[in-house]
Structure 1
Amino acid sequence: MHVFCYCRRCMAMTTRPLALTREDFMAITDAVYCILILVNEKGTPVYWNGAACDLERRLPGSCREIIKKLGETVDVVHCEGRYVVTAASRDFICHIRPWQIKQHRRGSILIVHESCVSSCAVQELNVVRDVVEEIDAVLEAGPTGLLVLDSRGMIKRVNHRFESLYGLDRKTILGKSIKMIMKETQIPQELLDKALHQQEHGISLVEYKGRKLVYTATPGLDRNHQMRCLVVDIQDVSAWKILWEKFKEQRKHMNEFIRKVAVLSSHSEDMVIGRSQAMQKVMHLIEVVSDVDSTVLITGESGTGKEVVVNEIYHRSRRRDKPFLKINCGAIPEELFESELFGYESGAFTGARRQGKAGFFELADQGVLLLDEIGELSLAAQAKLLRVIQNQEVQRIGAARSIHVDVRLIAATNRNLWDMVQQGTFRSDLYYRLHVIHIHIPPLRERREDIIPLATQFLHTFNAKYEKHKVLTPALCRLLMVQDWPGNIRELENAIETLVILTEGDDLQPEDFISQIQMEESEAIVTIRRLAPWNQTMAEVERKILQMTADQCHSTRAMADILHIDQSTISRKMQKYGLSLGRKK
């Protein structure tokens, strides 16, 4: 090799070209101590020098084995570079150089050195070889395609993933210019130009046969900041989109779950509580209607918790961040109904604000409007309301044009609107407009399973409010369960608050509740209309107390628990006065 370099320098200094005969060429190559082998375009050796002949005499077939081993790693005909191969149980260092005639490559020149290094060097070489093999294994096992170019854009290396992406064989492309496979790989030319010529890191996304490929070009620089190679990484990100969509879907579910938890946390005191089947149905309806914008009609006796249901629907809905207005239709005078709901322009009537006023429908635009006590509206007011619901437009008093509004309506009443329709006091067309989704809240006496959970919640609220530590005793719970609660949840709430405030001890007993009732209904318990002997008067008091307790209980055992009297005594006195259980309905 050094002789060739010397000859090249000498030829460069001559003023005329040298004419070398075949004999001259053979004499020169035989004088070189290293092994020279010429390989044609088919990879077949066509000449080797004297050093190669000496090797063949010592190790027959070794030259062909060297060529074979090289061919297992690289394309001997088209590539170039330095390689180490093992043949005939020995290590050889091989340099591959192009054999060109008039800019046309005819094959390769193999310059081979037999490795004659020390044992320490051999060990170091083995370590390096192990590292190289490990790196090779990592690169081959990688999930992304890998392409390595030299500074001239010649292909030095590809991995298995690269071959599978494009259906190419590394043996056919190694040593060739990247330009030869640009069409097959669709690597952006601009990306390569910037990396090869400007040494800039680049990234590009390309649609390739229905898949999305990300090309990343990274220049490899030496210690002098000169380019040694260019590494192009190819990632198929088609699956990423599917994973991203799944991630977004999971994140949507997670955010919805977090929202529901936040709703439950922020409105825990107003939350609808119900173990009964009737309330489970109500809670299911709340969940369903919260995701739509349909009009909802909520009915139920006074105190059943209609407004609590409305609040739940609002806070669970998609309009929870929009306005939420509540109107008590029974509290608005008929002459002010139109101006309050629809608003008015400046100077519309005497006493009107100079700047005018927006009505409730305008203020609730994009949000929710509660029409409470809808059954109290007059027929004239019902007609005006119906027009707004049908057209989704409001016209201020004194205005020349209408304003479009997007409002979700929720109506609530403790009256039977259908009966009012039959009686002619409520418009049927308005009734059907409101009766899209109907939620009826049953009275507390029809869902006694909910009494104790509600009482417990109210007790917790008032304990915190008044800094108390009151506890419901089992006997009081049994008494609460048998009450009729005509005022429903509101009456139960007031009763628990009164007990928390007025009861001295922490354990709330039945007598505490009875004394509360006695104070409220003292005249109904015992009324002395005339003077009578002591025994007769006390008997009357005893009879009335027993009757009041019996009206609220369904067993003598429950009465005994409430009055702290033996069950046998209760039975005897009930028989004495001719009383029966549960007479009150």
Structure 2
Amino acid sequence: MNNTLLHLTTHDYENVINAIYCSILIVNRDGHPIYYNLAAQKLAKESNVNYHELLAKLSEQIDIGNGQGRFSVDNGENWIICNIYPWENKEKRNGSILVLHESGHAVCASQEVDILTNTLKEIDAIIESVADGVIVADGNGIIIRINKAVERTFNVHRKTLIGQSSTLIVQKGVFREGIVEKVLQQRDKVIVASEYAGKKLIYTGIPSFNEKKLTCVIVTIQDVSAMNMLRHKLEKQELAMADYVREIANMKSKDIVQDTIIVHSKKMTRIMEIINVVSSVDSTVLITGESGTGKERVVDAIYQHSNRNTKPLIKINCGAIPDTLFESELFGYEHGSFTGARKNGKIGFFELANTGTLLLDEIGELSLASQVKLLRVIQEKEVLRIGGSKPVPIDVRIIAATNRNLWKMVEAGTFRQDLYYRLNVINIEVPPLRERRDDIIPLARYFVQIYNEKYKKNKKLSLEICHSLGERNWPGNIRELENVIETMVVLVPGNLLLPEHLPQKVAEDSNPGIVVHGIQPMKEAVQDVERQLLMQAAKKYKTTREMAHALGIDQATVSRKMNKLCR
């Protein structure tokens, strides 16, 4: 003990006790208080602590004269924490010394500790979860925190680094850059680029201050090479996604076309490929083919798939317009141009179709005089109304269609050669139904569905009628097939359509025999002949066994081929 304390008086000791923040109460062996310091008096006054009641509660728990320990006593609004120590003199116990404080202070402190602990845990979790490396050093450059990303980047263990000087760690070659030292020296943010084991790293050091005192340095380390790899990978994924989007758009566009036209045969598949190409450009298209082959459906498909599909599609039947009215109908006229003209004049079909598409159907029916007028408009891209003096510019995509052989008409002198070349930039020849037999049954089923919905019916094609429909040459092409299907859907009383339900003319048509339609690849010709043989055999024989015997093949082969034909 310091000898100076031996010279303290009783008054000095009392001053020392009164200077203590804690409430101190001294009781004798009987449990009666004999001394209170100033803090104890303040506690009794401000917190309404009755020491006699308090001592009575404590006396029920322990014997004041002999007890020792830490106790909590309910004081109504709060709790009193009491630490009891023995008061002895020459090994003789004179009583007890009680050190008291309110539990509110302790609870508040405990809550603050809990909040701080949880906050530190959250911060720790955040530091561990980030992809960047994180190093924390104190104000003296001693490493106090390192996350897992640093361990991975530098292939080190944090336990060997925490508590070490950052300068020493740099000297050992663990880190290449003394970023912590630079921040401590400059007392400002520092950014350094470096390389380590082939990795490009960006160090960012940030100082942290507390009342202008630099208390710690936080360093983040970004692996730029990893970011570059991710960027390149993302760019590749974006390119791949763009390809997927284009492919999906292309597939959707094909779906749009094939929703308009039934496609199963190879010839129509090729036409669909051409339609998908020409739809994306504004070239003039000439569509040829027999009547009823679906030329107008091809026009609709090109229009729907083009970039003009939100603009007008004007369809003109050139064969239905008298030659004397051709100019006024297509080019329009000003008011008062001729007797019977509208008061305010009229715009022609070309102006109606401006920025859109104009179909010139039955183009082969135009007179030579009308052909000359049409040629001028196509060449000049402008129209002059009858009675007008100022040409009107037009932006129109032209599609022409005809069932006539225009080149033969050119040779015969009934169709202008220059107009022919203007129109025949891209030629799409739609084959007759007899040359696309794989489409007959799908078309028939499509029309059954259409007219079932229209007339609220539930008709179905039998296997036998599929054979009959597929065997016929259909001189009227798709238009004739559609007419036959509609007739049967309306008139047949039952739901199953059979060969006997075919209209009489169709049923009475004689079989033309086995025919190869024009020059075609040998494989396609063989398939066509095989199909015709199967259809004729199915019509003549009632069972696949009989068909197999007549054709000289086994029954399983007949069944498989027939099922394939009727899909």
- Normalised by the length of structure 1, the TM-score is 0.53
2:439 aligned with 1:450, yes or no? yes
Q: Decide whether the 8 Å contact of 1:330 with 1:374 is kept in 2.
A: yes
Structure 1 unaligned spans of 5+: 1-72, 86-128, 142-155, 161-166, 186-213, 522-544, 571-585
Give, in angstroms, the shift of residue 473 of structure 1.
1.6
Q: 1:397/1:137 Cα in 2 relative to 1: closer, same or farther (>3 Å)?
A: same
Give, in angstroms, the shift of residue 342 of structure 1.
1.7
Q: 1:242/1:137 Cα in 2 relative to 1: closer, same or farther (>3 Å)?
A: closer
1:335-394: CA deviations, max 9, x gaps?
A: 221122222233333333343332222222222111111101111111111111112122
Classify the secondary structure of the residue corresponding to 2:184: coil
2:139 aligned with 1:81, yes or no? yes
Counterpart for residue 360 of structure 1: 349
2:307 aligned with 1:318, yes or no? yes
Counterpart for residue 147 of structure 2: 134
Counterpart for residue 245 of structure 2: 254
Q: Decide whether the 8 Å contact of 1:263 with 1:315 is kept in 2.
A: no
Matched residues in 1 for 2:335 and 2:219: separation? 74
Structure 2 unaligned spans of 5+: 1-133, 155-165, 171-175, 194-201, 514-531, 551-567
2:464 aligned with 1:484, yes or no? no
Matched residues in 1 for 2:211 and 2:327: separation? 85
Classify the secondary structure of the residue corresponding to 1:370: strand
Give, in angstroms, the shift of residue 466 of structure 1.
2.1
Alignment of 1:467-506 (within 5 A): 467-506=456-495
Counterpart for residue 462 of structure 1: 451
Give the one of 184, 200, 225 matched to 1:175.
184
Give, in angstroms, the shift of residue 281 of structure 1.
1.7
Counterpart for residue 191 of structure 1: none
Q: 1:84/1:302 Cα in 2 relative to 1: closer, same or farther (>3 Å)?
A: same
Q: Decide whether the 8 Å contact of 1:394 with 1:403 is kept in 2.
A: yes
Classify the secondary structure of the residue corresponding to 1:334: coil
Give the one of 317, 321, 333 matched to 1:332.
321
1:323-342: CA deviations, max 9, x gaps?
A: 21111111112222112222
Matched residues in 2 for 1:222 and 1:171: separation? 18
Matched residues in 1 for 2:251 and 2:356: separation? 19
Give, in angstroms, the shift of residue 450 of structure 1.
1.6
Instruction: Give percent identity, aligned residues only.
Output: 46
Counterpart for residue 255 of structure 2: 264
- How many residue pairs were aligned? 367
Give, in angstroms, the shift of residue 136 of structure 1.
6.9
Q: Decide whether the 8 Å contact of 2:334 with 2:385 is kept in 1.
A: yes
Matched residues in 2 for 1:500 and 1:371: separation? 34
Counterpart for residue 385 of structure 1: 374
Give, in angstroms, the shift of residue 459 of structure 1.
1.5
Q: Decide whether the 8 Å contact of 2:444 with 2:482 is kept in 1.
A: yes
Counterpart for residue 173 of structure 2: none
Q: 1:82/1:173 Cα in 2 relative to 1: closer, same or farther (>3 Å)?
A: closer
Give, in angstroms, the shift of residue 298 of structure 1.
0.4
Give, in angstroms, the shift of residue 247 of structure 1.
2.9
Q: Decide whether the 8 Å contact of 1:510 with 1:562 is kept in 2.
A: no
Matched residues in 1 for 2:146 and 2:389: separation? 86
Q: 1:394/1:134 Cα in 2 relative to 1: closer, same or farther (>3 Å)?
A: same
Classify the secondary structure of the residue corresponding to 2:147: helix
Classify the secondary structure of the residue corresponding to 1:500: helix
Classify the secondary structure of the residue corresponding to 2:325: helix
Matched residues in 1 for 2:272 and 2:312: separation? 23
- Normalised by the length of structure 2, the TM-score is 0.54
Q: 1:84/1:310 Cα in 2 relative to 1: closer, same or farther (>3 Å)?
A: same
Counterpart for residue 65 of structure 1: none
2:304 aligned with 1:291, yes or no? no
Counterpart for residue 411 of structure 1: 400
Give the one of 409, 414, 424 matched to 1:435.
424
Q: Which runs of 4+ in 1 moved over 4 A?
A: 138-141, 178-182, 214-224, 226-246, 548-556
1:57-93: CA deviations, max 9, x gaps?
A: xxxxxxxxxxxxxxxx99xxxx9923447xxxxxxxx
Give the one of 386, 391, 395 matched to 2:384.
395
* 2:405 counterpart letter in structure 1: N
Q: 1:216/1:457 Cα in 2 relative to 1: closer, same or farther (>3 Å)?
A: farther
Q: 1:483/1:350 Cα in 2 relative to 1: closer, same or farther (>3 Å)?
A: same
Q: 1:356/1:549 Cα in 2 relative to 1: closer, same or farther (>3 Å)?
A: closer
Q: 1:556/1:252 Cα in 2 relative to 1: closer, same or farther (>3 Å)?
A: closer
Counterpart for residue 10 of structure 2: none
Q: 1:139/1:556 Cα in 2 relative to 1: closer, same or farther (>3 Å)?
A: closer
Give, in angstroms, the shift of residue 322 of structure 1.
2.0
Matched residues in 2 for 1:218 and 1:302: separation? 83
1:259-288: CA deviations, max 9, x gaps?
A: 7537736x76x6222322222221111112
Q: 1:297/1:133 Cα in 2 relative to 1: closer, same or farther (>3 Å)?
A: same
Give the one of 493, 501, 504 matched to 1:517.
504
Alignment of 1:196-275 (within 5 A): 243=234, 247=238, 250-251=241-242, 253-254=244-245, 257-258=248-249, 260-261=251-252, 264=255, 271-275=260-264
Matched residues in 1 for 2:454 and 2:218: separation? 73
Q: 1:290/1:215 Cα in 2 relative to 1: closer, same or farther (>3 Å)?
A: farther
Q: 1:252/1:315 Cα in 2 relative to 1: closer, same or farther (>3 Å)?
A: farther
Give, in angstroms, the shift of residue 217 of structure 1.
12
Give, in angstroms, the shift of residue 494 of structure 1.
0.9
1:506-565: CA deviations, max 9, x gaps?
A: 22111111xx125x89xxxxxxxxxxxxxxxxxxxxxxx7xx5555786874443589xx
Matched residues in 1 for 2:356 and 2:452: separation? 35
2:524 aligned with 1:560, yes or no? no
* 1:414 counterpart letter in structure 2: N
Matched residues in 1 for 2:364 and 2:187: separation? 83
Q: 1:290/1:135 Cα in 2 relative to 1: closer, same or farther (>3 Å)?
A: same
Matched residues in 2 for 1:402 and 1:227: separation? 84
Q: 1:273/1:82 Cα in 2 relative to 1: closer, same or farther (>3 Å)?
A: same
Matched residues in 1 for 2:330 and 2:264: separation? 38
Q: Decide whether the 8 Å contact of 2:141 with 2:181 is kept in 1.
A: no
1:122-178: CA deviations, max 9, x gaps?
A: xxxxxxx5xx2227738979xxxxxxxxxxxxxx99xx9xxxxxx976377443448
Matched residues in 2 for 1:301 and 1:437: separation? 18
Matched residues in 2 for 1:178 and 1:357: separation? 84
